[in-house]
Chain A
Amino acid sequence: MWTTFFLIAIGLVLGIGAWLLFMWAVKSRQYEDPERPKYRMLEDDDEDNR
């Protein structure tokens, strides 16, 4: 019985973690420009990558 509730707790924590990640992504405007990221992979990062 103890193990079941332990697993439930882990499940909930992971779920909340994923939700927080999503909220962070929305708040940091990652959903506002779906066009740009596909070009980003073509950009070479040069020497002094800060």
Chain B
Amino acid sequence: MYNCEHCSIGFSEKDVVFDEIDGQQKVFCCHGCRGIYRLVHDAGLDSFYSKRTGWKPGPADEIAVTPDVFIEHIKETDRQAQIDINIGGIRCASCIWLIEKYIGRLDNVISVNVNYATHRARIIWNNEKISIDELLKKIASIGYCPRPYTSSVYESQIKEEKKDLLIRFGTASFLSMQLMLYTVALYAGFFHGMEPFYRFAFQVIAWIIATPIMFYSGYPFIRGAIYSIRSKTLSMDVLIFLGSFSAYAYSVAIIFSGSETQEVYFDTSAMIITLILLGRYIEAGAKGKAIGAISSLISLQPSDAMLIKEKGQRPVQTSVASLNPGDVIEVIPGDRIPVDGVVIEGSSEIDESMLTGESKPAAKKQGINVFTGTMNINGRLLIKVIKTGRDTVLAAIVKVVEDAQSRKAHIQTVADRVVAWFVPFIFFVALGSFVFWFYHKGDVSVALMNSVSVLVIACPCALGLATPLATLISSGLMSSSGILVKGGDILENMARADFIYFDKTGTLTKGEYSLTDITGYGIPEYELHRLAASVERGSEHAIGKALNKGIKEDELYDVADFKAHPGLGVSGIIKGDAVIMGNKTFLISHGVKFTDAQTNDFNCLSAGGNTVVGLALAGRLQGWFSIADSLRDESEQVVRELKDRGYKVGLITGDNRIVASEIARKAGIEIIKAEVMPVEKANEIRRIKESGSRVIMIGDGINDAPALIEADAGVAMGSATDIAMNSADAVLMGNNLQLLVKMLTRSKKTLSIIKQNLFWAFSYNFIAIPLAVSGKMHPVAAALFMVISSLIVVGNSLRLYKDK
């Protein structure tokens, strides 16, 4: 009996395959295993065989699935059940073919449909004969991973809208084709004469066919017009409604008047509706595409986790929904992490590109946070659950991006305001041209057609579309490269900014402090460190974390009445004595006095660019701590690039002047504001705003929050505290300052696309309206031009997808 070197399966002597590798004889169960062993060996990756753990010999395991999470998604009708699921592991069209054939061939499965683009399957089956459990197992048994499908509300809205538009547009085009048959007959009659009976009959038939187009296909416009009139604002829908329905109503009136000389214009009214529906359908498609990218993020979250109930036990599969903070789960290589949590055992590299846009995997070890949806590449990890479901970073990103789309850019509110007076203006122009042509020609139909042209061609659809689509595409693209922008208005502010203020700690610098020096006055250094670590334990600030290194948890003192003073320090009570720890200003404000020697020590320690904090016990200074922080690798280059582009760059920090100027010198920044309190930071930014600049503030701490809010655009680093991220308008998830440059470039590009769109939309109206007023344009041509104008705006916005 041998065991195969590659797959570890036991087999009998007569099947053995020998091979000599590096002078050693190895046994294999087949030539396949031998080939792979050689391949791995030749690539120098032999350590694979010693590294593989938690693995059993034999064919790959079936992916276990838990049906509980799927059950709520089943829709049941009598005897039939239907479910939409995401299927993981699909690589090409043959995978889809396999799933459809294999599952479709099972008894009692009625239909299976897998969408190629979204990898989403819809299965309809007989619920009484076969359970969802079995179906899922079957899918898993051929190597694919079923996951419950939860669509975002926004995405399903767009999908609904698109389908609705398609049905309305399709109906309108079929009817319009029919309508044209009779209209052409009537045209012919106009030129060559027609028996009055036929003429009347054809007009009535045209009326019958046009009516569903107007009231069914045209319903969105009717509804829009009614809403807008009710809210006393005139929207674009009002123009379309007036344009098409006046032609319709006029034609109906002609039929009833029994006139033998006047023509009907059902074709005009129907064509206007049909063409504009087509335009809206294409718009909805472009929007759906932009949204889809964001929604696909949601599906990255696995639904199952391997829960370890007690240390040392084998993990059990559970649904993520049933996990609680504090639970411990196991994540093996190749799996996505199902929760936000912290690593408590093991180390691995993790692909976080879906969150940060950074393609290089991040190394994770004990004590480091990991995030939902990221991919564990090469090591087994035990993770303590911190957040699940809606509270995770992934869920927050999806929400922010979705919300961003509803926040309007300032430039759009301008466009909206223009539209608000533009519509009544056009209304009067149309009325004016009707009156003019009526007196000029004495013919109602000519006058009516000209004014309908004006109404239709002036429809400011392109104007309304110019901004939102561009913002939508940009925020989607940015989120995929690790930049989270919370609204369209921010993109615009960003593009217009000319002054950039950096915070120091954690923004220009790495924010990884390390304690370099302790100077104690009449107290052992270790004891001083212990006190400092105890009082700083509750602090979120990087300095606090640095001070906690080197002191064991069980050696810490109990701290009562802990208080963090952002930008200053911390305070608390240890063994009945008040402990004050923080920068010099903070100590002075608490009445701590320094001797000359102590002040001298402070200056010496600060001179090297290190941050120096002091600890006072019962009002007496006990010692100084010198803490070093190094510049981010990219800081200098980013500052240089920003300066080259004409931005004014400044540094603003609560730290002392010596440290600040040292860091600023290294980064190449000339404008320095040091020893600034959080509230003063905001005042400083307001002051610069009042001088006419637009300011971007970049920071990461609680102390930056007021400034982030005050700035035209506040940007938080990916490593920032929650408060900073919430106060900021944008977050650099990738935690790299290079993203700032990228973000500025992108927002400039977006703003220029928006401007081009608006320019086009305005100039189009500027040229087209006079043409329509002068009677040079037929209403159908007007509708066509209007749609083309909207499509040009759509196409121009789609250009943002280029040069990602």
Q: Spell out A's residues near B (CB within 8 Å).
A: 4-5, 8, 11-12, 15, 18-19, 22-23, 26, 29, 31-33, 35-36, 39, 42-43, 50
Contact = CB atoms under 8 A, between A and B. Distances in A.
A22 B174 contact: yes
Contact of A18 (B96, B97, B174): B174
B116 A15 contact: no
A42 B115 contact: no
Given A29-B113, A36-B115, A39-B93, A11 B181 contact: yes
Interface string B157-182: 00000010011001100110110010
A33 B178 contact: no
B26 to A, nearest CB: 41
A33 B114 CA distance: 9
Given A22-B171, A36-B115, 18 more contacts: A4-B198, A8-B205, A11-B181, A15-B177, A18-B174, A19-B171, A19-B174, A19-B175, A22-B174, A23-B170, A26-B166, A26-B170, A31-B163, A36-B114, A39-B116, A42-B93, A43-B97, A50-B105
Contacts of A43: 93, 97
Interface in B8-30: none
B569 to A, nearest CB: 60
B198 A33 contact: no
Contact of B96 (A4, A5, A36): A36
The A contact surface, by secondary structure, is: helix
Contacts of A23: 167, 170-171
Contacts of B153: none
24 contacts: A4-B198, A8-B205, A15-B177, A18-B174, A19-B170, A22-B170, A22-B171, A22-B174, A23-B170, A26-B167, A26-B170, A29-B113, A29-B122, A31-B163, A31-B166, A33-B116, A33-B117, A33-B118, A35-B116, A35-B117, A36-B93, A36-B114, A39-B93, A43-B93
B112 to A, nearest CB: 13
Indicate the size class of the contact surface on chain B: 20 to 34
B115 A15 contact: no
A8 B205 CA distance: 9
A6 B281 CA distance: 36
A24 B93 CA distance: 25
A43 B174 CA distance: 33
A29 to B, nearest CB: 7
Interface of B: 93, 96-97, 105, 113-118, 122, 163, 166-167, 170-171, 174-175, 177-178, 181, 198, 201, 205
Contacts of B96: 36, 39
B174 A36 contact: no
A10 B170 CA distance: 21
Nearest to B182: A8
A37 to B, nearest CB: 9
Contacts of A31: 163, 166
A23 B174 CA distance: 11
Contacts of A42: 93
A35 B122 CA distance: 16
Contacts of A36: 93, 96, 114-116
Nearest to B159: A32
A35 B115 CA distance: 8
B113 to A, nearest CB: 7
Nearest to A43: B97
Nearest to A27: B167
Nearest to B198: A4
Nearest to A25: B170
Contacts of A5: 201
Nearest to A48: B105
Contacts of B170: 19, 22-23, 26
